[in-house]
C-alpha cells in the first residue's frame, strides 16, 4: 500500500513541477520541466538521503565513537526486525531527529547533539524507535523524495521571477503565470508536504512505542523536544525548509497547533494519544508538552526514570 502511495505522491509532485514549467514557458516549458522532474525522481531515489544528511552536516558514528547511542539504535532495530541502519549525529543544540533512506536496507537515522544531551536513555530510545518506525513503514523514501521535489518546485518558482512574464518565453498567461509560479506552486508543494508528514507521524508514534516497549518514553521525549525546539534556532533547517517535515518535531518554529500550515500534528495531541496507549498497556503518569528538560544524556549512565519498564538495554 505504501508503494502505491509513494508512486501517487511522486506522480502528483511531478505534475505540479510540470505545471510550474507550463506557467513559465508554456508547452515547451512543461516538456522541459517533465524531463527535469524525471531526472530528479531518478536521482532522488538513489541519492536524496545523502543530500539531506549533507544539508544538515550529519556525521556518521559507530559503536566506538558513540557507544550508548549506537547500542540503543542497534537493539531497537533488532526488536523491530530491521537491518541495522547507519547512525548519524548532527552538531546542533536544537533537540531533534529524522530518518532517511530509500528502503530499510539503505536507511539512516540522525539525532542532534541537543537531543542526545537533553534526553534520558529511555527518551532517546523512544525517539529512535519512532524513526525506525518510519523506516519500517517505508515512509523515508516518500519523505525524502518529497523534500527534494518540494525544494525544486520552490526554486523553479523563484526562477520564474528572473525569466519574466513575456509571451516571447511562450508563457501563455504572461505576468499572471509568473506570479502563480512564484506563489501558488510552492504553496501547493508545501501543503502536500504537510499532509504527508502529519498523517504519518501518528502511525510512527504508535509503532515506535511498540518497538521501544513504553509509550511514555516517546511522550516524555516529545514534550521536551517541543519545549526546546521553539527556543533554539536550527540554522540548517531554516536554510532548507523543504526538509522540515522529515524531523520528529517541526525544526522551524515549534508551533503548537494543528493548523493548515503546520508540518506536524500538535505535539500535545500526539502525547495524549501515546498516553492513552500507555494506559491500555498499564503504564501511568502521562507526560505534558511543558515537561522539564533532562540534564543527562545517553552518555552519562543516567538512571532509568521511575515507573518505566525495562527496555532491551536494561
Hey, what domains does the chain have and what are their CATH numbers? 48-145+192-281 (3.30.2010.10)
Helix and strand totals (H; E) in the chain? 10, 4
- 84-101 tens-digit pLDDT: 999 999 999 999 999 999
In eight-state DSSP terms, residue 119 is S
Name the residues annotated as catalytic: 131
Question: What does the block give as the cell for 6?
Answer: 509513494
Beta carbons of 133 and 76 less than 8 angstroms apart: no
Q: Which burial class, exposed, middle or buried, applies to 314 when counting CB atoms under 10 A from its CB (0-12, 13-18, 19+)?
A: exposed
Q: Which burial class, exposed, middle or buried, applies to 147 when counting CB atoms under 10 A from its CB (0-12, 13-18, 19+)?
A: buried
- 270-280 tens-digit pLDDT: 999 999 999 99
What is the rounded average pLDDT for all residues in the chain?
A: 78
Backbone phi, psi, residue 72, to 5°: -60, -45
Residue 56 pLDDT greater than 80, yes or no: yes
Residue 76 pLDDT greater than 80, yes or no: yes
Residue predicted with more confidence, 285 or 231: 231
Hey, is 30 helix, strand or coil?
A: helix
Binding-site residue numbers for Zn(2+) are 130, 134, 201
- 237-276 tens-digit pLDDT: 988 887 888 899 989 864 444 444 566 888 999 999 999 9
Backbone phi, psi, residue 38, to 5°: -60, -45
Binding-site residue numbers are 130, 134, 201
Amino acid at each position: 500500500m505504501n508503494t502505491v502511495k509513494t508512486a501517487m505522491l511522486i506522480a502528483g509532485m511531478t505534475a505540479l513541477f510540470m505545471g510550474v514549467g507550463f506557467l513559465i514557458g508554456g508547452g515547451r516549458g512543461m516538456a522541459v520541466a517533465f524531463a527535469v522532474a524525471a531526472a530528479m525522481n531518478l536521482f532522488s531515489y538513489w541519492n536524496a538521503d545523502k543530500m539531506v544528511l549533507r544539508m544538515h552536516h550529519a556525521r556518521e558514528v559507530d559503536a566506538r565513537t558513540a557507544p550508548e547511542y549506537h547500542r540503543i539504535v542497534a537493539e531497537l532495530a533488532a526488536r523491530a526486525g530491521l537491518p541495522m541502519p547507519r547512525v548519524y549525529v548532527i552538531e546542533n543544540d536544537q533537540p531533534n531527529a529524522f530518518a532517511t533512506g530509500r528502503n530499510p536496507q539503505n536507511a539512516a537515522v540522525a539525532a542532534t547533539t541537543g537531543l542526545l544531551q537533553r534526553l534520558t536513555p529511555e527518551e532517546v530510545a523512544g525517539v529512535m524507535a519512532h524513526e525506525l518506525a518510519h523506516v519500517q513503514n517505508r515512509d523515508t523514501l516518500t519523505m525524502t523524495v518529497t523534500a527534494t521535489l518540494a525544494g525544486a518546485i520552490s526554486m523553479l518558482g523563484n526562477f520564474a521571477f528572473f525569466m519574466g512574464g513575456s509571451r516571447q518565453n511562450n508563457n501563455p498567461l504572461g505576468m499572471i503565470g509568473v506570479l502563480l509560479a512564484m506563489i501558488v506552486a510552492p504553496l501547493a508543494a508545501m501543503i502536500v508536504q504537510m499532509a504527508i508528514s502529519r498523517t504519518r507521524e501518528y502511525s510512527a508514534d504508535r509503532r515506535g512505542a511498540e518497538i521501544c516497549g513504553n509509550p511514555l518514553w516517546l511522550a516524555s521525549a516529545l514534550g521536551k523536544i517541543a519545549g526546546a525546539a521553539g527556543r533554539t534556532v536550527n540554522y540548517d533547517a531554516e536554510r532548507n525548509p523543504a526538509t522540515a517535515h522529515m524531523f520528529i518535531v517541526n525544526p522551524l518554529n515549534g508551533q503548537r497547533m494543528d493548523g493548515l500550515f503546520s508540518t506536524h500534528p500538535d505535539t500535545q495531541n500526539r502525547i495524549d494519544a501515546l498516553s492513552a496507549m500507555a494506559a491500555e498497556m498499564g503504564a501511568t503518569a502521562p507526560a505534558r508538552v511543558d515537561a522539564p528538560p533532562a540534564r543527562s544524556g545517553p552518555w552519562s549512565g543516567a538512571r532509568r526514570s521511575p515507573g518505566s519498564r525495562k527496555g532491551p538495554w536494561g
